[in-house]
Structure 1
Amino acid sequence: MTERAPDGYLLDNRQPEAGDRFEALADLFDGSTFRHVDRLGIAAGGRCWEVGAGGPSVIRGLAERVGPDGYVLATDIDTSWMTAATAPQLEVLHHDIAADAPPPGAFDLVHARLVLVHVRDRERALRVMVDALRPGGWLLLEDADPALQPLACPDESGPRQQLANEIRRGFRRLLSERGADLSYGRRLPRLLRSAGLTDVRADAYFPLTSPAGTALERATVLQIREQLTAKGYATDTEIDTHLANIATGELDVTTAPMISAWGRKPGARPSQPDGFASGSVAAE
């Protein structure tokens, strides 16, 4: 979940608000992520690679599922927030999915959430992840698609909601300027098939309002405040007003749809003790 920019990070993991963002993202999306992981059949003894892990929540969940006889590799270009997750079966490595060679070994599951949408060389990154799968292994990619739903407040019922949407438009401009593909999520099923994967399925999760969504909006705005004002996308007064509106707890702030897509590498399916159950997977 690290976002990389050519001139530095837009959402820098070294900022104090990064921890708040990771907690909010976990509250919002871990349930959906592990619904997919569990349906793919992750079990004791499995080998998993979490790409661009960012925070500790997903790697903790994977480590619990594979147990002491399994293995979870967690990689990112900034591993500082992953130190909160510890387990004998967990290894944390510095790794750039867009530039570095794949790690050794083959994996039953490779997962990335909110990673590829921000990577400039997405084609190479996808190829590295596919190559890291063992025959029968699963690739699960999850990325937002802000172009499908670009608003912070879809119910634009008044000035507070209009201001939130204007600031969200500034955020989207900043992302685009740093190479993010704001319509990448919808292409994931086609890209997985083009990469040679089979049994491809996808769905989307779209939380409309929640305390976690409010917390994510606040942390994100605080992290990008200087960039918003420097580009003229928002003034300090507008940002202060928006933060005050968020603090009331009455602003229904949402996220872009999170699109999850998964596919299987052709070959023999792993047996249950190796980490995955047999049988195909269908979207709910």
Structure 2
Amino acid sequence: MGEAGGDQGYLLDNRQAEAGVRFRALAELFDPVTFRHVDRLGIGAGMRCWEVGAGGASVPVGLAERVGPTGAVVATDIDVSWTRDVAGGVIEVFTHDVAVDPPPTGGFDLVHARLVLIHVADRAEALRRMVEALRPGGVLLVEDADPMLQPLACPDESGPEQRLANRLRSDVRTLMAARGADLAYGRTLPRLLRAAGLDDVRADAYFPITSPACAVLEAATVRQVRHHLVEQGLADDEEIDRHLATIAAGRLDLALAPMISAWGRRR
């Protein structure tokens, strides 16, 4: 969730205070989806897992619970600020750029990245290195957003508050695209995993709506990019304050872009 991308760096910088709020909201929204797949794929005792672009700590900790004391979890990110405290035991944490640095050694039964590759400038190279890190029979699980598949913050655009939310979501997408994000990346994952030579490739999608965590995530994201929105003339402070107040009042049925989960097994 934290690998950088684009010439100007990752828009949602891990070093900002709002990042912790975002990671907790993302964990609440998407950990059940991620671990449904992890458990269905049979990840268990004694296995080795690589969590790419870990961002927050919840996925490395959940993987560690599954692999137990005889397994290993390697959690990497360009900025490990939010995972450093969970290092120890079976969890190893270190700074790493998935598109530049060699994969961790030893081979893995599971390589997982969530909401990472959409932001990585050289996505193809990052994916190649992740596949390279798999042991024979190991599984790659990539989960990424597709903001163009469902671009609205409020699919039920019933009034001016919803229209403002949707316009600001469009403005955030503009900022992301300018940083090199591929806003239609999620839908390409099944094809890319097959092209990488993986077998038994499958995928599904999940998109939450009207969850309290959606509102927490929306507010934290808008606060985190506020200065970019204002500096680039995409929104003004009054509009942003009005949107944040509407979120706080609970008057919006907020949605997220679909997260597409795709997986395949190395021969």
TM bucket normalised to smaller: over 0.9
RMSD (CA atoms): 0.8
Distance (whole Å) between structure 1 residues aligned to residue 145 and residue 255 of structure 2: 12
Distance (whole Å) between structure 2 residues aligned to residue 125 and residue 212 of structure 1: 29
Aligned to 2:10: 9
Aligned to 2:246: 245
Aligned to 1:219, the other structure's residue is in SS state helix
Q: In structure 2, do the counterparts of structure 1 residues 84 and 254 end up closer, same or farther at CA, with 3 Å as the change threshold?
A: farther
Aligned to 2:72: 71
Distance (whole Å) between structure 2 residues aligned to residue 59 and residue 161 of structure 1: 36
CA displacement, residues 170-197 of structure 1 (integer Å, 9 cap, x when unaligned): 0000000010000000000000000000
Aligned to 2:216: 215
Q: 1:8: Cα distance to partner?
A: 3.1
Aligned to 1:35: 36
Distance (whole Å) between structure 1 residues aligned to residue 246 and residue 60 of structure 2: 34
Distance (whole Å) between structure 1 residues aligned to residue 257 and residue 224 of structure 2: 18
Distance (whole Å) between structure 1 residues aligned to residue 10 and residue 115 of structure 2: 14
Amino acid at match of 1:234: A
Amino acid at match of 1:107: F
- 8 A Cα contact 1:3 1:10, kept in partner: no
CA displacement, residues 19-41 of structure 1 (integer Å, 9 cap, x when unaligned): 00000000000000000000000
Aligned to 2:62: 61
Amino acid at match of 1:45: G
Aligned to 1:262, the other structure's residue is in SS state strand
Aligned: 1:119 with 2:103: no
Amino acid at match of 1:247: A
Q: 1:98: Cα distance to partner?
A: 1.0
**Alignment of structure 1 residues 135-150 onto 2, 5 Å:** 135-150=136-151
- 8 A Cα contact 1:3 1:11, kept in partner: no
Distance (whole Å) between structure 2 residues aligned to residue 238 and residue 87 of structure 1: 45
- 8 A Cα contact 1:11 1:223, kept in partner: yes
Distance (whole Å) between structure 2 residues aligned to residue 259 and residue 9 of structure 1: 21
List, as ranges, runs of 4+ consecutive aligned residues in structure 1 with deviation greater than 6 Å: none
Distance (whole Å) between structure 1 residues aligned to residue 227 and residue 9 of structure 2: 13
Aligned to 1:275: none
Unaligned runs of 5+ in 1: 267-284
CA displacement, residues 13-64 of structure 1 (integer Å, 9 cap, x when unaligned): 1111100000000000000000000000011101000000000000000000
**Alignment of structure 1 residues 1-284 onto 2, 5 Å:** 1-4=1-4, 5-266=6-267
Aligned to 2:205, the other structure's residue is in SS state strand
Aligned to 2:83, the other structure's residue is in SS state helix
Q: 1:2: Cα distance to partner?
A: 1.1
Query: What TM-score results when the alignment is normalised by the length of structure 1?
Result: 0.92
Query: What TM-score results when the alignment is normalised by the length of structure 2?
Result: 0.98
Aligned to 2:24, the other structure's residue is in SS state helix
Amino acid at match of 1:214: A
Distance (whole Å) between structure 2 residues aligned to residue 181 and residue 8 of structure 1: 14
Q: 1:3: Cα distance to partner?
A: 4.9
Q: 1:103: Cα distance to partner?
A: 1.1
How many corresponding residue pairs?
266
